[in-house]
Amino acid sequence: MADSKGLPKVEEITDKMSKRWGTGTVVIPAPEEVDEIMRKIPEGKLTTINEIRAILAQKHGASIGCPITTGIFAWVAAHAAEEVAAERKQDITPYWRTLKSGGQLNEKYPGGAEAQAARLKEEGHII
């Protein structure tokens, strides 16, 4: 999580990418930025990867947040949170409150969609 490898960075959307994302700029976030946004989602609330991408784009003055790296870093944050939880630490990223773009559960999170649904139900969400 801590190794940002020169990220974040904002780049022009190239011709190849513009077919999918339009024109403008894309921010490639740092892993810690994605984790920080996910940490701020309070109990009882939810967010989506697209909402996180919009926050990142606004923060960096870009047209869009990169869907690929944002999704990867959400996955990294989720797995890092479970590693911390395994050490019996309480302050972990509530990754289960971050849904996929269309509001779906994320089968790639630790324990799959079933585990995410169980955590959300514990917080009072209806699945």
Q: Render pLDDT for 33-57 as a digit per residue (tens, 0 to 9).
A: 999 999 999 999 999 999 999 999 9
Both tokens assigned to 49: 């990867």
The sheet that has 9-12: what strands, in order across it? 9-12, 25-28, 64-65
Rounded CA-CA distance 127/24 in Å is 37
Band of the pLDDT at 17, cuts 50, 70, 90? confident
Band of the pLDDT at 19, cuts 50, 70, 90? confident
Band of the pLDDT at 18, cuts 50, 70, 90? confident
Look at residue 16 in the predicted model and tell me its pLDDT. 82
Confidence (pTM): 0.93
**Is the distance from CB of 10 to CB of 59 less than 8 angstroms?**
no
Average pLDDT, the chain: 94
The CATH number of the domain covering residues in 9-122: 1.10.10.10
